[in-house]
Structure 1
Amino acid sequence: MTTPQYPGYPGDGSQSGHNPQGGGVPGYGVQPGYGGNPQAGAAPGYGPQPGYGDQPGSNQQAGYGPQPGGAPGYGPQVGAAPGYGPQPGMDAGGGMPPYPGGAMGGVPMSVGDGLSWAWSKFKDNALILVAGIGVWSTLSLLGGFNFHVTLNGQEYGVGFGVPFGGYISAAASLFAPMVTANMSLKVATGRPLEWNDLFSFPNVIAGLLAAFLSYVAMIPAALLCGFPAFIVLFLFYYSVYFTVDKGVDGIAGMGASWNILSSHVGELLPFALTGAGLYIVGGITVFGWLVTVPLAVLMTGYSYVRIQGYDVVR
């Protein structure tokens, strides 16, 4: 397991000192030096921090009550994924500051809000998003395609491909999810996009494994009748996001994705259907995918962050 790419979600299991209260991504045990500290989670030498719930034995300063939009004491958030409970020190007076820009709560999570946020962020980062997603989408299509139809005994067809395109396409299909997950998470958490993000692969081995096994899992489902493949795709859609965000291994990322998506089908299925619609519209309009695909990618980052009880940077 590697260091999380974006540490700092309070209660997401990615920070040192987190002791999972049942479920969650494995591997984030109590770090030496934090267990048994009356001010769990606080840095040594720094006394109780005002404003994060009642401090045992401390005199809280006036004006630092519960923060707007957040539960008093930063308790578990309504709708948050199971297994991502509060960190030690949040309720006990550790005073851990919120994840940069990732405020607790926020406006209600919805497809409308997600699409509006994605459009706003797309306009702010249009050039790099179009370039990055365009490059990887093009590489993924180099395997080519063939279409044939027979009319009145005469076969007609059209095809496209490049030498070794199939190998390039297969490799791109494994690496592209890491790039898109990394870019969407950076936007969702207020980090500026850089051009080297187009070829940045955080936690690469775990990400490749998660992407590969997710594709493999869809094969038998697709052979059944096709529809089960979409169910598998839905349940494993956050696999690479967890490897990039939390630094977990590929299997743990797949398990976390399955748990959170299967537990929040009603909330996340509309996002999946909207994303599929954006891909379809982009394909029909030929060049429209340069806009619709980045929107779908950003909405995935939005739903990933919001379903865990935190807001995106706006």
Structure 2
Amino acid sequence: MSTNTPDDPSQRDGQPQAPSQGDAQSTNPYGAGDPFAKPAEPAAGPYSAPTGSTPPPSAYPPPAEPFGQPGYQAPGQGYGAYGAGYGAAPAAGGFGDQPVQVGDAFSYAWAKFTQNLAPILLAVVAYFVGFVVLVALFFGILVGGSALGSADPTAGLLALGFGTFVFVLLVAALAFLVQAAMISGSLAVTSGRPLTTGDFFRFPNLGNVVLTALAIAAGTAILYFTFVGSIIFGLFSMFALYFVMDKNLGVVDAFKASFSLVMRNAGTCVLLLVLTMVANFVGAIPLGLGLIITVPVSMIATAYVYRRLVGEQPA
């Protein structure tokens, strides 16, 4: 009688059998012929290298962003680099890639106005009185010069026309210098430091502040009779003084920066300009007395929008 022999060599004769040398080659995890040989090293992966060698820089994973902050920009980028070649601007829509709500800007401005009522009102009243006195003085000079030229109607008309232009230019220059004072205080408010009346009489980069105010006044005076032109010019230059005083830019760079910022955020800036004009128009109705409130509130609101659009968070 024949007996079935198991196919598995290890089970022949009912006893476990040691694997043959040939089987050891396929089953020995340490390699054939040397049971004490070290196992073969695994193939180098994307982030490993053979023992005893230095992996190339490309083998390491990319480094984390500086300081572990998502979206961190290295110094010299963004709007802080306007003095060095105009770096990439923040995404349109403002701080944190979120749209700037102009209504929030006015709510913020009203809260800051009420919290700093005494220093703001003292500064506004001082500038308001000075502005009225100087405008009245210039107007008297204009009328007096026209009266002297009444003997010659043609000369009188020319003097009146030129005098009117100069009068509008001077009034606009005074208005923008007062605006610069309000900007100085507004930047102090939005920076989070305690506000004093002296902040409204402190002009960083004074020479460029005066030149920028005169440039804005000249553009406004030239486009005054077109009305729409002066509004468009006012829209694109609305942040020029902010850049001069906050970023220490020159006149030309400040206008470029303001134009770029408005172009990237046209909808927000148009709405801000319209609401500011409406607020100051309403404030001017009761003999201009309401401007004591509407001017500082609208300037703080503009400073809020400015900080948000350049990637800063108002305090």
Match of 1:9 in 2: none
Q: What TM-score comes out, normalization by structure 2 length?
A: 0.59
Is the contact made by 1:188 and 1:302 (CA closer than 8 Å) also made in structure 2? yes
Is the contact made by 1:75 and 1:86 (CA closer than 8 Å) also made in structure 2? no
Is the contact made by 1:184 and 1:301 (CA closer than 8 Å) also made in structure 2? yes
> What secondary structure sits across from 2:311 in the alignment?
coil
Q: 1:126 aligned to 2:117?
A: yes
Match of 1:117 in 2: 108
> What secondary structure sits across from 2:187 in the alignment?
helix
Measure the CA separation in 1 of the matches of 2:221 and 2:169.
18
Q: Which one has a bigger Cα radius of gyration?
A: 2
Displacement of 1:210 in angstroms is: 0.6
Write the deviation string for residues 227-246 of structure 1: whole angstroms up to 9, x where unpaired. 11111011111111111001
Is the contact made by 2:89 and 2:310 (CA closer than 8 Å) also made in structure 1? no
Displacement of 1:248 in angstroms is: 1.1
Write the deviation string for residues 246-275 of structure 1: whole angstroms up to 9, x where unpaired. 111122112211221133211111111111
Match of 1:304 in 2: 306
**What amino acid does structure 2 have at the position aligned with 1:121?**
K
Select the structure that is richer in helix: 2
**What amino acid does structure 1 have at the position aligned with 2:113?**
F
Q: 1:196 aligned to 2:194?
A: no
Alignment of 1:13-92 (within 5 A): 54=64, 66=69, 72-75=70-73, 83-85=86-88
135 and 264 in structure 1: CA distance in 2 versus 1, 3 angstrom threshold: same
**What amino acid does structure 2 have at the position aligned with 1:244?**
M
Match of 1:267 in 2: 268
The count of corresponding residues between Structure 1 and Structure 2 is 212
Is the contact made by 2:176 and 2:217 (CA closer than 8 Å) also made in structure 1? no
**What amino acid does structure 2 have at the position aligned with 1:117?**
Y
Measure the CA separation in 2 of the matches of 1:119 and 1:289.
14
Instruction: Name which of 276, 293, 296 aligns with 1:294.
Output: 296
Displacement of 1:201 in angstroms is: 1.4
Match of 1:105 in 2: 96
Alignment of 1:86-235 (within 5 A): 105=96, 108-142=99-133, 143-144=135-136, 172-223=174-225, 225-235=226-236
Is the contact made by 1:105 and 1:311 (CA closer than 8 Å) also made in structure 2? no
73 and 175 in structure 1: CA distance in 2 versus 1, 3 angstrom threshold: same
Measure the CA separation in 1 of the matches of 2:200 and 2:130.
13
Write the deviation string for residues 88-135 of structure 1: whole angstroms up to 9, x where unpaired. xxxxxxxxxxxxxxx963974212111111111111111111221222
Deviates more, 1:281-290 or 1:196-205: 281-290
135 and 172 in structure 1: CA distance in 2 versus 1, 3 angstrom threshold: farther
**What amino acid does structure 2 have at the position aligned with 1:195?**
T
Write the deviation string for residues 158-208 of structure 1: whole angstroms up to 9, x where unpaired. xxxxxxx99996764353232111111111110211222232111100011
Measure the CA separation in 1 of the matches of 2:97 and 2:119.
27
Match of 1:39 in 2: none
For the aligned residues, what is the CA RMSD? 3.2
74 and 206 in structure 1: CA distance in 2 versus 1, 3 angstrom threshold: same
Measure the CA separation in 1 of the matches of 2:99 and 2:125.
31
Measure the CA separation in 2 of the matches of 1:110 and 1:292.
19
Write the deviation string for residues 36-69 of structure 1: whole angstroms up to 9, x where unpaired. xxxxxxxxxxxxxxxxx9268xxx8xxxx64xxx
Is the contact made by 1:186 and 1:192 (CA closer than 8 Å) also made in structure 2? yes
> What secondary structure sits across from 1:105 in the alignment?
helix
The share of aligned pairs that are identical, in percent, is 25
Measure the CA separation in 1 of the matches of 2:208 and 2:113.
28
Measure the CA separation in 2 of the matches of 1:84 and 1:271.
25
Q: What TM-score comes out, normalization by structure 1 length?
A: 0.59
